[in-house]
Amino acid sequence: MLSHVSRLAKRYLQVQDKVGYLQKCYEQMEYPTYQRNGWPIGSGSVLRLRQQRRRSRQQQQARHRVAQPFQPPIPPAPPS
């Protein structure tokens, strides 16, 4: 498949840099192994999990926050 994409890259300039990346990093992309181990493949799932955790933490903090009654400032004493 990588050879097919490489042939396409010769015709389409927009694809050339992406194919270079794939050729360079191909050995590191063991997606079937990652899937078997249940690891996330795309960055989207990782980002979504991070957002969910941040949102959950913010909601927990909001629940534990106690509303403080308003304390008007003490006016200065009149000059004597």
Are 25 and 19 in contact, with CB atoms under 8 Å apart?
Answer: no
Whole-angstrom distance, CA of residue 73 vs CA of residue 63: 27
Residue 27 CB coordination number (10 Å) = 7
Whole-angstrom distance, CA of residue 78 vs CA of residue 26: 79
Q: Which residues contact 29 (CB under 8 A, 6 or more apart)?
A: 22
Instruction: For residue 42, give the 3-state DSSP assignment.
Output: coil
Please give the pLDDT value at position 54.
92
Q: What is the mean pLDDT of each run of 10 residues along the chain (80 residues)?
A: 72 78 82 85 78 90 75 82
Give the total residue count for the chain.
Answer: 80
Please give the pLDDT value at position 1.
67
Are 33 and 26 in contact, with CB atoms under 8 Å apart?
Answer: no
* Confidence (pTM): 0.33
